[in-house]
A = this chain, B = another copy of it.
Amino acid sequence: MRYELFYWPSIQGRGEFVRLALAEAGADYVDVARAPGGMRRMLALMEDPDIVRPPFAPPFLRAGRQVVAQTANILQFLGPRLDLVPESEAMRLWAHQLQLTVEDLVVDIHDTHHPVAMTLYYEDQKREARRRAAFLTQERAPELLGYFETVLGRNGTGRYMVGRSLTYVDLSLFQIVDGLRYAFPKMMSRLEPTLPGLVALHERVSQRSNIAVYLDSDRRIPFNEDGIFRNYPELDG
């Protein structure tokens, strides 16, 4: 099965959670909008009036005739196919529940620079951004990262978030730590001593062979100030 991932070509964004899963599994996939003419194909697909089940927004994934959208839903679809989630329904629901909680944190991170409207420039909502960022750095990030640290600590040896092997949730938390280090280095140097499990998980994931190759390749788009994780020092407390 060749997968086609449709996502904005110049940012990691939400698509990165899917890219990491595909990369870890060594899946056969195309990052459609990064290829010549791909952006046009993506927009055409979104606006095609003949599509009975249209996605609202990227990312979405095409697998044969099926199109799946919403990041956590794509990961839920890919999990069993890429061997990135346990077998049982209960464990799959648990993995998905954690992924949706990761999504909540992603919204809070995104909204630090876009607290008013995603269609306005950051420069037009800087005042609101400072207040919203303080909520993230002082309340939400400590609370949510602390929650994930607790979950990790309660799971057996504390090496994986779910079950006894790597899942897409581990990959997503790698991305969260990686992105927060880029966007909020001061906050992270303050919080990391309280998050030894997540810090070690980030390190382990970064050294997995397929992930290490991916991170070192041009498939990994560098962090920049158009994505979810933006390095705006004035927001980093």
Residues of A within 8 A of B (CB): 51-56, 66, 68-70, 72-73, 76-77, 90, 93-94, 96-97, 100-101, 104, 107, 111, 115-117, 119-120, 125, 128, 131-132, 134-135, 139, 144, 147, 150-151, 154-155
Contacts and interface: CB of A to CB of B under 8 A. Distances in A.
A117 B97 contact: no
Q: Looking at chain A's contact residues, is the secondary structure mostly helix, strand, loop, or mixed?
A: helix
Nearest to A130: B116
Given A117-B131, A117-B135, 9 more contacts: A56-B104, A56-B147, A66-B90, A70-B100, A70-B101, A115-B128, A116-B128, A116-B132, A116-B135
Cβ-closest 6 pairs across A and B: A117-B135, A70-B100, A116-B131, A128-B128, A70-B97, A73-B97
A94 B128 contact: no
Q: How many chain copies does the complex carry?
A: 2
A131 B128 contact: yes
A157 to B, nearest CB: 13
A73 B100 contact: yes
